[in-house]
Amino acid sequence: MTARLIDGNALAKKVRGEVAQQVAALAAQGRQPGLAVILVGEDPASQVYVKHKVADCESVGMRSVLDRHPASLSEATLLQRIRELNADASIHGILVQLPLPKHIDANKVIETISPAKDVDGFHVASAGALMIGRPGFKACTPYGCMKMLEAIGCDPRGKHAVVIGRSNIVGKPMALLLLQANATVTICHSATPDLAAHTRQADIVVAAVGKRNVLTADMVKPGAVIIDVGMNRNDEGKLCGDVDFAGVSQVAGWITPVPGGVGPMTRAMLLVNTLEAAQAAARA
């Protein structure tokens, strides 16, 4: 079998198109959605991510505010800045680019963001809402993965999904979203003794580890849907995922590429969350 590709670029473009239409409708009522992106320090990868997020906003007609600060910024000043943005009615989403410098407590920073503006979905209120099945912002990466499943007509109901990785930003919310969608979910992690025994049973595998070749062809059930969240570099320095793409795509039914898979969808879902925040503010 040769797997069909889940094209994250194409799907993200479609999502951005839908967002742009709804942004235009809000803007026509004088309610243009606005996203504040806070960057502290000079981390090169963070600078690139932030630049993309700002460009994405512009591409759909959203307003974006890039709030840059030196690495020496005090925690108290950052918290004060977030409180100002919480109170700013023209800002509907607040995103603090991680990682933060070591002297700043990232949890404290995230908890200071108003849950109504937590478009990254990292606030404990958003995580708790997901846990108990209440409305709230979903973390962008797992939300994007769910959209990808939907796009290929893969309903998780009754399926066995294996999530590899249990981080608060990917693995755990991914498992909860799949559970909410009525999958039977197994979560694997670094202390799972026989990963392959689990993945071989899976109709859906989501790999969110950050290590190359965590999932190889012999670990995959024929026809399974494989979502590769991982972002790694191969020996040539090229971006690659957690999945041995060449091997696994001979066995799986569907597979996401890296690059061009989950990454673009993560960015698109930030726009969806910001739009949802602006729509909720307009209703309030």
Identified binder of ligand NAP from the candidate list 33, 34, 93, 171, rule CB under 6 A:
171
| Least distance from ligand NAP to the Cβ atom of residue 243, Å | 11
Q: Does residue 104 touch ligand NAP according to CB under 6 A?
A: no
Catalytic residue among 120, 203, 228, 244: 120
Q: How far apart are CA 200 and CA 203, in angstroms?
A: 8
Is 120 a catalytic site residue?
yes
Catalytic residue from among 56, 67, 97, 138: 97
Q: Are 189 and 171 in contact (CB under 8 A)?
A: yes
Report the distance separating Cα 215 and Cα 192, nearest Å: 14
* Cis previous bond, 259, omega within 30: yes
Q: What binding mask, one character per residue, do residues 7-46 give for ligand NAP by CB under 6 A, x or -?
A: ----------------------------------------
Part of the chain binding ligand NAP (CB under 6 A), chosen from 83-91, 147-155, 249-257, 260-268: 260-268
The pair of structure tokens assigned to 139 is: 């973390």
Q: Which of 3, 229, 248, 251 binds ligand NAP (CB under 6 A)?
A: 229
Nearest-approach distance from CB 195 to ligand NAP, in angstroms: 5
Pairing relationship of beta strands 254-255 and 4-5 according to DSSP bridges: parallel
When asked if residue 97 is in the footprint of ligand NAP (CB under 6 A), the reply is no
Which residues, 6+ apart, have CB-to-CB distance to 10 below 8 Å?
A: none
Interface pick for ligand NAP out of 96, 188, 227, 272 (rule CB under 6 A): 188
- Window contacting ligand NAP (CB under 6 A); options: 41-49, 65-73, 228-236, 248-256: 228-236
Q: Tell me how far the alpha carbon of residue 194 is from its chain's centroid.
A: 27
Per CB under 6 A, does 189 bind ligand NAP?
yes
* CB of 159 vs ligand NAP, minimal distance in Å: 20
Which CB, 122 or 129, lies closer to ligand NAP?
A: 122
Least distance from ligand NAP to the Cβ atom of residue 215, Å: 9
Question: Which amino acid type is present at position 233?
Answer: R
Query: CB 222: neighbour CB atoms within 10 A?
Result: 10
How big is the CA angle at 143 (ends 263 and 247), to the nearest 5 degrees? Answer: 50
Burial 66-102 (b: 16+ CB within 10 A, else e): ebeeeeebebeebbebbeebbeeeebbbbbbbeebbe
CA-nearest of 219, 83, 104 to 164 is 219
Task: For the CB of residue 189, give the shortest distance to ligand NAP in the complex, in Å.
Answer: 4
Contact between 72 and ligand NAP per CB under 6 A: no
Q: Which of 141, 199, 249, 273 binds ligand NAP (CB under 6 A)?
A: 141
Burial class of residue 277 in the structure, from the number of CB atoms within 10 Å of its CB (0-12 exposed, 13-18 middle, 19+ buried):
buried
Min CB(42)–ligand NAP separation in Å? 20
Question: Which of 31, 87, 23 lies closest to 57 in space, CA to CA?
Answer: 23
Active site residue ranges: 53, 97, 120
Binding residues vs ligand NAP (CB under 6 A): 141, 164-167, 169-171, 188-192, 195, 208-211, 214, 229-232, 262-263, 266
